[in-house]
Structure 1
Amino acid sequence: MSEQRFENRVAIITGGGTGIGKATAALLLAEGARVVINGRREAVLRETARELDPDGRRVRWVAGSVADEQVARELASTAVTEFGGLDLVVNNAGVFKPTPFLDHRVEDFDRYSDIILKGTFLVSQAAIREMTKTGGGSIVNVGSMWAEQAIGATPSSAYSAAKAGVHALTRNLAIEFADKGIRVNAVAPAVVETPVYETFMSPEQVREVLPTFHGFHPLGRNGRPDDVAKAILYLAGLEADWVTGTVLAVDGGVTAGRQA
């Protein structure tokens, strides 16, 4: 049996019930980690935990919004009390719905800012307090290609602004906590086929619309949750122990340029 890269390491994954978060949890578990997953829907978390960890030994879950400071603190404390420490955080919780700028309401802006940016801030803060006690750790934030490029077909001003904040937060925390042995990086995906699209389109629309974005990516296809999860594990692991403050494009080549 090959050596497991994350043997006995403890991870928190926000937005861990579906999509990229669930795929990341599955890969980390396969590599020997213990995982605390978070999301707003308790039933989804319970089912994901049962699916990924049938014997219930290596997955715990905490339901609630990461924009709530108490939830953020509970995530960190659950990792420590249940599994004995905290080595890795994946800030993945998010929402997405393309909306023209003038159609946005204040409530929309607050929702994106709370879940994406404030949530990343609070969970990172709670985690770093624990990591500084034990000599370090790794944080990987899920940013977005939309924070780097505006796409006319998918107007996403509030979402993009929140994700750009995550990119800036990534770099700032990387510098501030480098001397504490804490690395902070981010991935910036393009179109990844996750359940988020089903929050604003019917299943039929998803099947019809998503394939039209394959050609948007120079590599010829949309991303899959595993594509991003594998990049997250790279940044989180020892292979990247001299990497911090980077935002890694995981986007099928979109931000590299245009073929035509």
Structure 2
Amino acid sequence: MTRFDGKVVAITGGGSGIGKETARRFVAEGARVAINGRDKAKLDAAAQEIDPTGERLVVLAGDIGDPATGAALVDMAVTRFGTLDILVNNAGVFSPKPFLELTEQDYDWYLDTILKGKFFTAQAAAKAMKDKGGSIVQTGSLWAIQAIGATPSAAYSAANAGVHAMVRNLAIELAPHRIRVNAVAPAVVETPIYNSFMSEDEVKATLPGFNSFHPLGRNGQPGDVADAILFLASDQASWITGTILPVDGGVTAGRQ
């Protein structure tokens, strides 16, 4: 028996990177999964790759910044698979820009996708879990813990700091319902998000320069974060709630 036999999972930002790898691992460990993202074609490709049978993974395209999308994702999981045990609130956006150049549109993009999206999707999930218990794992960020001069990210960092605060508040408020709430806070992880604001050649030239930023000497991979997410979602973490777990190659420990 694997850790997630019979469990039902919803994942936002599940079409690529950390979310896709997390979905893959949940399915491999026996779960049935509903994934969300904005790009239907990308979601369908991920679903075909992870579960060609279509029996264990379903997709819902939509902007998670709209609370109706999170509610629809939860409804899809419950309707298709009968319940919801785990929510992985992973959707996010990232595009460094100096503070003096940030626009209101930039600010709203970060806050809507990262904070509002996670807030209302967690609310929808908690309503589905409140009589039976469950686990919510958010993807936060190292940038909400430390400022990184090389990647100016004031609005992104503020949004993720809100996610971290939400984790602690929801952990207390939802504890009577036996719903655990935790987060991972990754440092630089090599995912397609960097291709959203750099060309492929720029990514290949830039990302290796961040290896030495991490005391362990390398950038993260999606699997590094997925391992931590699955741990926090599992019964192995049954006495852990309200925790922000840095998954950062040692960055928060200090500098070499």
TM-score, normalised on structure 1?
0.98
Per the TM alignment, residue 43 of structure 1 is displaced from its structure 2 partner at its CA by 0.5
**Structure 2 residue aligned with 1:211:** 208
What's 1:172 paired with?
169
Question: What are the equivalent positions in structure 2 for 1:29-40 lying under 5 Å apart?
Answer: 29-40=27-38
In the other structure, the counterpart of 2:180 is 183
Matches within 5 A, 1:1-260: 3-133=1-131, 135-259=132-256
Q: Which amino acid aligns with 1:67?
A: G
| Residue identity matched to 2:208 | P
- CA distance in 1 between partners of 2:220 and 2:176 (Å): 35
Structure 2 unaligned spans of 5+: none
CA distances 1:139-171 after superposition (whole Å, capped 9, x unpaired): 000000000000111100000000000000000
- 1:53 and 1:158 map into 2 onto residues whose CA distance is 36
Deviations 1:147-200 (A, max 9, x none): 000011110000000000000000000000111100000000000000000000
SS of the aligned residue for 1:177 comes to helix
* Superposed displacement of residue 70, structure 1: 1.4
Q: C-alpha separation between the residues in 2 aligned to 1:67 and 1:153?
A: 27
Q: CA deviation at 1:128?
A: 0.4
Aligned length: 256
Percent identity at matched positions? 61
Report the alpha carbon displacement of residue 72 of structure 1 after superposing the two structures with TM. Answer: 1.2
Matched to 2:198, the amino acid is M
Q: CA deviation at 1:68?
A: 1.1
User: Residues of 2 paired with 1:138 and 1:126: CA distance?
Assistant: 13
Distance 1:94 1:249 in 2: 17
CA distance in 1, matches of 2:197, 2:140: 20
Distance 1:89 1:73 in 2: 12
> Partner amino acid for 1:254?
V
Moved over 3 A (4+): none
Shift of 1:27: 0.6
SS in structure 2 of the partner of residue 62 of structure 1: strand
| 1:39 to partner: Cα distance | 0.2
Tell me the TM-score normalised to structure 2 length.
0.99
Deviation at 1:29, TM superposition (A): 0.5
Q: Which amino acid aligns with 1:22?
A: K
Mapped to 2, the partners of 1:192 and 1:70 lie a distance apart of: 29
1:182 & 1:70 partners in 2: Cα distance? Answer: 22
Q: Name the aligned partner's letter for residue 93 of structure 2.
A: V
Q: Distance in 2 between matches of 1:164 and 1:59?
A: 31
